[in-house]
Amino acid sequence: LQSNSYCISPGLAEENTEPEQETMIKIPGSSYLVSPNLPDFRGCSPGWSSAFYGAECFDSEVHSYTKNLGKQKSSESQNIDAKKVELEQLLMMETKNYRKTIKFYQKLLQKERSSKGLETKSMLPKLRGQLQEMKSKVQFLELVKKYIMYAEQWGVESCVLPAVIHDGRTDAADVAPVDESSLLLYYNTDKHQCNSENGIRVLQAGTPLGLMAHLYSRNAFLEGYVQQFLYTFRYFCTQEEFLQFLLDRISSTLSSASLDSSTSLTKIRNRSFYILQAWIEDCYSVDFATNTDLLCTLKEFISSKVAPLNGYGEHLLSLLEDASAKKSGNAQQSSSMDKCEEEGEEDRKTLHSLCKKLSEDRSCSFTFFFLLQNFNWKLSKGMGPIAQYQRERLYSSSSVLPKPCYYSFTEEFPVSFAKADEMGPYLLIEYSAQQLCCQLTLLQQEVFHKCHPVHFLNSRALGVKDKCVAVQKAVSTETVSLQVCNLFLSKCIQDQYLLQLLRNADSISTWVAAEIVTCHTSKLQVSLLSKFLLIAKCCYEQRNFATAMQILAGLENLIVRQLPAWKILPAKVAEIMEELKAVEVFLKSDSLCLMEGERFKTHPTIPSAHVLAMHVQQLETGGFTMTNGAHKWTKLRNIAKVVSQVHAFQENPYTYTPDFKLQSYLRQRISHFKDAEISALAADNCANFHQIPAEKHSRKIQDALRRMKATFQ
């Protein structure tokens, strides 16, 4: 049962056992009311696990359990309605018992802490084991529910795909014969765990029309094809072409589809609605929010064609409004910040939040372990000779720094925090590395959770390159040319949020370097170097690799690496630099290194945006089409698998307590230095130069004059 935990919904993820984190309460979405002649479309997006694991998401145990559902006797035939009813009853009962047991466990834990019930100490371990078993059972039932939703409904056999291609027309007189091999290319395999008697056909390549038609195949959801398609279709068709393909199928089947769910027309109609809703749920921010014409076309079609015939049109329009509000930041987020929920709202909490409560109660016995224990951190030491750095101080720090851009909410805080530029780096020394790590992680998470897997595709067209500074500061988002190395179709609109993500990373690296070189004493420089190294170490141990790599980039700045303070840095602290370099090598070694093991399921993770973009660029290298013009689906599937980890990491957020005053200070310092020239800042500070003794310096001048005099004799 534990092996299936990665395929469940976000509300059933493993509990987060970070001792410093607080419970984040999530309120599940309410069910939608649809027309009686349409299936109940609740959450249609297959999710990242479908794209990442593919057909392996459902193992043989799920298949056998589903087969026996809804049958009173072994001789009876399968009935999908009976399966749904029985599964819903089992899931409701197990979920209710699980929640009751959690509440009982919390009461016992409170008695133990108050020393009023010593006999409860022996009961807690047993109860904890029962909770884990009950949780695994609920997870398994959720997995079976998803399997039934995908496997038992609305898919068509390959022989019906020509009808899908011809707008749902099934009459042989009007439809020209279509050879499936001219649209889709398969290869057979018999190694799959769920293989049939004749083996399994695995899609290898296809034309754009064939790949879109394959969305209607019976196993498209089970094999992860739908989610992989939603991530990667922009390589071979535009958003307008894909939307028109879906709308044509809905138009041709909407009025003629009968109430019988077994007919091909009804299956094509329902699958079209399902795919359309999954597209809206998963990719609204990257496709519809950035393309007003596409959104208007969809709304007009729903209002004029779908809404008059059934109630599902109202549901789609409501879904679009909710997605628009979420994109604009108007969606209410108070449920995740409210710590004083009323007792009557307990039943609306997801099991994920209850699991977090349980993990908080167990935090006293939790021991944090490092991520990369099994790696050999011992690398070649030595930072090379520190060159002598002398320069006339032609610039002052005030002339180099841009005008700071402060955030409006800082006005609410005291003057000591509102004027962060006057405080200098001294406030960084006052806070511990753990405190700074937590707040920097929350700031990084705020930016990371706004990105989408699609943002990491086709990054070469945005000017992202494999070098230390991924995006030039002087290049704005609007001036980036999309004609260079553009892998998307020319008319395909691409959201450029990745550039904002990389500029944010570059700003933090510049801030780290600037804070160090503006210190006026070597002692303060050593303190800041130690502080940033400890922060970076804490970040990567807590799987915030983005901030860890940003700090490493700031410390590896050419000017910073030549500072005299490195020579007097404590040896144990200096070794952290080698650890950070080893982490960087580890992240660059494999595109899926952060998805290995169990920790990504139970601990929050923020990847390095630039490293992930480079991995995707490596997968994008080479041709996307075969000699016959078919697009290589195996290549697109691998790309979808890599970028799906973005959604996987976003499902498990950090829930540290925000310190808004400290965050305000950090934001202002980062904004203050984001466009600074490190070399000019360093030239205005004597602590950045190697001091040469006066006698030694005069002796060198005399030796130079003596040599020059000898040349004239």
Instruction: Give the full edge-to-edge strand order of the sheet including 200-206.
Output: 184-189, 200-206, 631-632
The residue length of the chain stands at: 713
Q: How far apart are CA 449 and CA 249, in angstroms?
A: 34
Residue 421 has pLDDT above 60, yes or no: no
Among the ranges given (17-31, 433-447, 647-661), the one the predictor scored with the smallest mean pLDDT: 17-31
Provide the H-helix boundaries in 225-263. Answer: 225-232, 239-254
Using alpha carbons, select from 450, 448, 482 the residue that is nearest to residue 464. 482
Residue 29 has pLDDT above 60, yes or no: no
Sign of CA dihedral 529, 530, 533, 534: negative
State the burial class of residue 480 (Cβ atoms within 10 Å of its Cβ: 0-12, 13-18, 19+): middle
User: Are residues 459 and 617 in contact, defined by beta-carbon separation less than 8 angstroms?
Assistant: yes
pTM of the model: 0.75
Query: CB count, 10 Å around CB of 669?
Result: 21
Q: Which domains does the chain have, with CATH numbers?
A: 46-170+178-190+197-284 (no CATH), 425-467+490-684 (1.10.840.10)
Question: What does 253-321 look like in DSSP terms, one character per residue?
Answer: HHTT--S-TTSHHHHHHHHHHHHHHHHHHHHIIIIITT-HHHHHHHHHHIIIIITTT-THHHHHHHHHH
Helix (H, G, I), strand (E, B) or coil at 625: strand
- 236 Cβ contact partners less than 8 Å away, ≥ 6 residues apart: 208, 211, 489, 624, 631
Q: Which of the given ranges, 21-35, 519-533, 596-610, 697-711, has the highest pLDDT on average?
A: 519-533
Residues in a beta bridge with 625: 631
Looking at residue 486, the DSSP 8-state letter turns out to be -
Element (H, E) at 187: strand 184-189
User: Which is more confident, 488 or 165?
Assistant: 488
User: Are residues 164 and 258 in contact, defined by beta-carbon separation less than 8 angstroms?
Assistant: no
Rg (CA), the chain: 30
Taking all residues of the chain, what is their mean pLDDT, rounded to a whole number? 76
Provide the H-helix boundaries in 16-59. Answer: 48-53
Query: CB count, 10 Å around CB of 260?
Result: 9
Q: How far apart are CA 104 and CA 702, in angstroms?
A: 86
Q: How far apart are CA 225 and CA 235, in angstroms?
A: 15
Among the ranges given (220-234, 442-456, 458-472, 528-542), the one the predictor scored with the smallest mean pLDDT: 458-472
In this predicted model, what pLDDT tens digit does every residue of 263-278 receive, in sequence order?
A: 888 888 888 998 999 9
Mean pLDDT of the 30-54 span = 62
Looking at residue 465, the DSSP 8-state letter turns out to be -
Question: What does 188-215 look like in DSSP terms, one character per residue?
Answer: EES-STT--TT-EEEEEEE-HHHHHHGG
Report the half-sphere exposure of 210 (CA within 13 A, side-chain side).
20
Helix (H, G, I), strand (E, B) or coil at 487: coil
In this predicted model, what pLDDT tens digit does every residue of 94-126 receive, in sequence order?
A: 999 999 998 888 888 887 777 655 666 778 888
Residue 384 has pLDDT above 50, yes or no: no
Element (H, E) at 631: strand 631-632
Amino acid symbol at 547? T
Helix (H, G, I), strand (E, B) or coil at 186: strand
- 255 Cβ contact partners less than 8 Å away, ≥ 6 residues apart: 309
Using alpha carbons, select from 507, 505, 509 the residue that is nearest to residue 609. 505
Pairing of strands 631-632, 184-189: unpaired
In this predicted model, what pLDDT tens digit does every residue of 302-341 receive, in sequence order?
A: 999 998 887 788 889 999 999 998 887 644 443 333 333 3
User: Are residues 359 and 16 in contact, defined by beta-carbon separation less than 8 angstroms?
Assistant: yes
Using alpha carbons, select from 444, 371, 435 the residue that is nearest to residue 606. 444
Which pLDDT score, from 0 to 100, does residue 31 have? 32
Q: How far apart are CA 45 and CA 226, in angstroms?
A: 9
Residue 456 has pLDDT above 50, yes or no: yes
Q: Which of the given ranges, 139-148, 474-483, 567-576, has the highest pLDDT on average?
A: 567-576
